Chain A
Amino acid sequence: MSTPSSTPDTGGTPSDPPYDRARRRELILRVAVPLVILVAVLLLWDWYVRAYDVKPYILPGPGLVASTLVKDWGTLSSALVVTVRITFTALFLAVVGGSLLAILMTQSKIFELALFPYAVILQVTPIVAIAPLIIIYAPSTQSAVLLCAFIVTFFPILSNTVAGLKSVDHNLLNLFELYGASRWQTLFLLKIPAAQPYFFAGLRIGGGLALIAAVVAEFAAGSAGAGSGLAFRILESQYRLNISRLFAGLIMLSATGVVIYWLASLVSYLALRRWHESALNREN
């Protein structure tokens, strides 16, 4: 921080030993508590499978799932790459499309009146129900899956960004008007920066939804073969009663979801950390 040393005292600074110690304890707790829960659940699971002699095609033990994850890594990871590629492409298109459309809608009342109801309709119609149609019309299965994921991801980013662009401090708008700001200046210097926290909230929701939608669309498409994603591998495992591989696939999906959420949160934190309440450590 390049803030002058005479900044009003906001409590401890990172160099204070008590603050440091408190933060380390906080960090340890943050890691240790979930870890203890995880180990406890794994032990319980393992005990249950052994004690009641559960067959692996009903519920495999954690050890078997782990070894399957290693053994089938080749198949599973290439499937994961397909799913992740679709997820991120959909998310990228949704971010670009959603925020551009949000800007368009807030710049022109006509655009908003014309487009917003249809964006809502697209959002509230379950994607699983639209997917069969999309699969018929789309040139390839991959593009159908991508389109489904895009439709689902697009809306939270659009509606959050619209809300952000509209919730600019009225006094600041007056100030810009007073100094004769052009439409573009008001957009770039005021509305877009003010919409950032809303946009990032939308990104976090959209990131998670993109993965879910990619999996759901893949289920609906039921695509097979070398180019298929993790969702197909999970279905396939179910048909073959290869439940340990199903579990391994699930674990990879959740891990991917967590990473996406974490990435979105990181981007949001980096963008807002200097000024927005959501990214600040509260102390009192």
Chain B
Amino acid sequence: MSSSANTATADTLPTSPTVVRLAGVNKTFSNGTLALSGLDLDVHEGEFLSLLGPSGCGKSTALRIIAGLGQPSSGSIEWPRTMHDATGSPERSIGFVFQEPTLMPWADVFHNVWLPLRLKGQSKASVRASVMEALDLVGLASFAKAYPRELSGGMKMRVSIARALVTRPQLLLMDEPFAALDEITRFKLNNDILRLKAQLGWTVVFVTHSVYESVYLSSRIVVMAARPGRVVRTVTVDGPTVRDEDFRTSDTYNATCRTVSEALHSAMGAGDHL
């Protein structure tokens, strides 16, 4: 089944509508570091896109630019299917999950998940059902009154995911969300994410430095390299729509992992291994 792990360039890829398009995006930090160099990226509706690469390849920077946290130094970002407000800025519907759970320690789980809606001026009573539904989706409905410190690392991350999904975003951005978790918890949360994606029809952009995680989750993997941050290859994962432990041990999975690893290694110069 080695043919199932095929590779392609971005322009021959999925035909579903584009949610966001990055064209020739460069980002130079104030200290002179060229974090991103000429990034072209189309995110298609319904896909699970992973940005994979070593530290410093600009994958997190790209994600933050999509989120609107920081502007590109040059290049454009288009939201073809998004309404624009009076000032011409897109009314992005985004959920963001950080590497850390990033919860407010002084607020209980309910108040943490309510936050995105609260900031949009929605009262507690009017969104109680939505918040509880979001908590239910991550299996934490009975922990609404618990404080973050009372939860395990995996549970905190699930609260963070509930907070990202409570607004029912068009696009979910995840920045190495499971990097700090143990492997067992990570596998479980990977499955949770896949289930939620199927259930809610998300479009996901997922940043990771794990080849195995990216292949398990993604429909498409963008392999990036550092100095300067750039895309070296795009790999389509020809896996089943429903993925489980069987997929993790399948030939397709192994073959794709090999392809992606090779792409990653060929992109990294000898010095990058240090």
- Chain A nearest CB from B99 CB (Å) reads 8
Residues 139-180 (chain A) with a chain B CB within 8 angstroms: 169, 171-172, 174-180
Q: How far is the CA of A234 from the CA of B167 in the complex (A)?
A: 66
Q: Is B84 an interface residue (CB 8 A)?
A: no
Q: How far is the CA of A231 from the CA of B90 in the complex (A)?
A: 66
Q: How far is the CA of A179 from the CA of B99 in the complex (A)?
A: 18
- For B69, what are the chain A residues with a Cβ–Cβ distance below 8 Å? 174, 177-178
A178 adjacent to B67 (CB under 8 Å):
yes
Q: Is A196 an interface residue (CB 8 A)?
A: yes
- Chain B nearest CB from A54 CB (Å) reads 56
Given known pairs A178-B67, A189-B115, the reply for A7 and B102 (CB within 8 Å) is: no
For chain B, which range describes its interface: under 10, 10 to 19, 20 to 34, or 35 or more residues?
Answer: 20 to 34
- Chain A nearest CB from B44 CB (Å) reads 22
- For B108, what are the chain A residues with a Cβ–Cβ distance below 8 Å? 274
- Chain A nearest CB from B75 CB (Å) reads 21
Stretch at the interface among B139-147, B197-205, B209-217: B139-147
B152 adjacent to A8 (CB under 8 Å):
yes
Interface flags, B120-151, vs A, CB<8A=1, else 0: 10000000000000000000001101111111
- For B68, what are the chain A residues with a Cβ–Cβ distance below 8 Å? 178
Q: Is B106 an interface residue (CB 8 A)?
A: yes
Instruction: Across the interface, name the chain B residue whose C-beta is closest to A168.
Output: B104
Given known pairs A178-B68, A178-B69, the reply for A172 and B104 (CB within 8 Å) is: yes
- For A2, what are the chain B residues with a Cβ–Cβ distance below 8 Å? 145
Q: Is B94 an interface residue (CB 8 A)?
A: yes
Q: Is A138 an interface residue (CB 8 A)?
A: no
Candidates B94, B102, B150; contact of A172 at CB < 8 Å = B102
Residues 237-284 (chain A) with a chain B CB within 8 angstroms: 274-276, 280
B104 adjacent to A178 (CB under 8 Å):
no
- For B118, what are the chain A residues with a Cβ–Cβ distance below 8 Å? 189
B105 adjacent to A179 (CB under 8 Å):
no
Given known pairs A171-B102, A275-B106, the reply for A181 and B143 (CB within 8 Å) is: no
Q: Is B187 an interface residue (CB 8 A)?
A: no
A181 adjacent to B119 (CB under 8 Å):
yes
B119 adjacent to A7 (CB under 8 Å):
no
Q: Is B79 an interface residue (CB 8 A)?
A: no
Candidates B106, B120, B142, B149; contact of A196 at CB < 8 Å = B106
- For A177, what are the chain B residues with a Cβ–Cβ distance below 8 Å? 69
Given known pairs A4-B143, A275-B149, the reply for A178 and B94 (CB within 8 Å) is: yes
A175 adjacent to B106 (CB under 8 Å):
no
Given known pairs A4-B143, A175-B98, the reply for A185 and B119 (CB within 8 Å) is: yes
Q: Is B116 an interface residue (CB 8 A)?
A: yes
Interface flags, B94-119, vs A, CB<8A=1, else 0: 10101010101111100000011011
Q: Is A193 an interface residue (CB 8 A)?
A: yes
Q: How far is the CA of A7 from the CA of B106 in the complex (A)?
A: 18
A275 adjacent to B100 (CB under 8 Å):
no
A4 adjacent to B98 (CB under 8 Å):
no
B-side interface residues toward A, CB under 8 Å?
64, 67-69, 94, 96, 98, 100, 102, 104-108, 115-116, 118-120, 142-143, 145-152, 155, 167
Contact sample, A vs B, 26 pairs, CB 8 Å cutoff: A2-B145, A3-B146, A4-B145, A4-B146, A7-B143, A7-B150, A8-B151, A171-B98, A171-B100, A172-B102, A174-B69, A174-B96, A175-B98, A175-B115, A178-B67, A178-B94, A179-B116, A179-B119, A179-B167, A193-B106, A194-B106, A274-B108, A274-B147, A275-B106, A275-B148, A280-B149
Given A8-B151, A178-B94, A189-B104; 18 other pairs, CB 8 A cutoff: A3-B146, A4-B142, A4-B143, A8-B152, A169-B102, A171-B98, A174-B64, A177-B69, A178-B96, A180-B119, A180-B120, A185-B119, A193-B104, A193-B106, A194-B106, A274-B147, A275-B147, A276-B106
